[in-house]
Each structure stands twice: as structure tokens, then as C-alpha cells.
Amino acid sequence: MIMLNFLLLFFFNISSIQNNAISLSSWVSKIDDIQEVRIYSDNYFAVSKYNIEDNTFISAHGGLYFIDDKGYYEVLEFNSIDSSRVGDTIYYSDFTFSNEVFDDGDEEVDVVYLIINNIKYLPNVGNYNDGGLNGSWLMSGIERRGEMRMRDVNRPRKTLKMLGGGRFQWIAYDTSKKGFYGTGGGTFTAVDGKYVENIEFFSRDSNTVGKSLGFNYQIKEGDWHHKGFSSKGDPKYEIWTKRKQ
């Protein structure tokens, strides 16, 4: 019984360490001109794939994830390529971390990789500031013609924005209809009430790629309010609420 309890504690600690290692993080895999980005925030994940040479969007999927002693699981809430997969649970037994040491000429650098389904991802690194915005957010309000229109964040039709590891991705989708309506993402910074998105992909309009959008933001009663202008130059005031379920 003592040995069994020890083994259970060992596996629990391993899965907890793995969970902590990817929580509020982002990871990048690049093969030729194709870049694939994973963002983890809270209990949710999003994966985007796009061509960095011609700025074309390729695919996106995401939902909930969890880790136990047997492996890594993803429960799909959206899938831009195959909507029939929405609701499926995907199990990966080859989820792991790997360390490699590189010599950059000045010093040796220890790099940790994330490996899922034989794909190797590097952690997103850089001097970024999340401004306390890291997490998963659901759009709960948007101003239309000067009037703030509130949304029920528990409805199946959602606009989700995930921030982690210096990267962001928003996704519009409907879990009941298995609909996927658009996505975009890239890198972000949030400093002193200024939130900036640097767009790397946009499923609806590749001409938006390369633009930087700046917003004034503040947290009011736990909600994220931001004001600025859209990629088309239209005034934009949105309210985002932390996702709880």
C-alpha cells in the first residue's frame, strides 16, 4: 500500500509539473515556410498553422486539455478543417519535454522543447510584458453605434481570446453547430494601460498580416475593457470576461 501511494504521488507530481510547464505559455514549430503555434492558458489551448512567406492561413483547432499519468488529452471545441471532430477527445501518448544544449558562441544555452505527436515545439521567447492579461477570455460586450451590447458568455456561440507566452489568438466558433467563423493571432504586449497586437495571421484577410493594432485597456471588476481601432480603422470598444467553463 505504501508503494502504491508513492507511485500515485509520483505520477500526480509528474503530471502537475507538466501542467505547470505549459500553463500560460506558447510554443512554436517551424518547418520551411509553415509555422505552427500552440497557446496554453488556464485549461484551454489553441493551435494555429499558417504560411509565413505568403501570409496564408492554413488551419486552427483547440478546446480543453488535460494531463494525467497516461498522457496528454485534447477535447476539441473547434476545428477549421474538419468540423466533425468537434467534441472528440484526442489522446497523445508521446507528449513529453526534451532538453538540448546549444552553444551560441558566447555561452551554452539550455533549451526545453515540447514534443507532441512527433512535432517539436520551441518555447516563445522574448522581452514581452503581459500586463496581467494572460489567460482565456470570452467577449462579453461590444459597442455598436454608441451602445454597449452585452453577451452571455455561457452560450455556445463564442468569441474566445487566448493570451499566453507573449502570443494571442482569437477564435469565433459555435460548439452546438460545430461552426468555425474565423481566427487571427500573433504576438502582443501590454504595458501601462497600452495593449498592442502584432498580427501574424488572419483567416479572413491576409492583407491584415504585419499590422500592429494599439488599444487602451484597463481591468474593471475583473473584466478587460479595451478601446481602439480595428484593422479596418473602425472604432472598437470591447469587454472581455475571464472564461470559467
Residue with cell 544555452: 109
CATH superfamily of 135-242: Uncharacterised protein PF14869 family, DUF4488 (2.40.128.490)
Range with lowest mean pLDDT among 16-20, 99-103, 112-116: 16-20
Burial of 201 (0-12, 13-18, 19+ CB in 10 A): buried
What's the pLDDT at 2? 37
* CA–CA dist 128, 190 (Å, integer): 8
Residues 6+ apart with CB under 8 A from 213: 196, 197, 199, 228, 229, 230, 231
DSSP E strand boundaries for 32-166: 34-41, 44-51, 57-68, 71-79, 89-92, 96-103, 108-116, 119-123, 135-144, 147-150, 157-164
* CA–CA dist 13, 127 (Å, integer): 30
For 213-233, what is each residue's pLDDT tens digit?
999 999 999 999 999 998 888
For 127-175, what is each residue's pLDDT tens digit?
778 999 999 999 999 999 889 999 999 999 999 999 999 999 999 999 9
Residue 113: other Cβ atoms inside 10 A: 16
What's the pLDDT at 79? 98
For 2-52, what is each residue's pLDDT tens digit?
333 333 333 333 344 455 668 779 999 999 999 999 999 989 999 999 999
What's the pLDDT at 103? 67
Give the residue extent of every domain in the chain. 2-123, 135-242
Residue 77: other Cβ atoms inside 10 A: 23
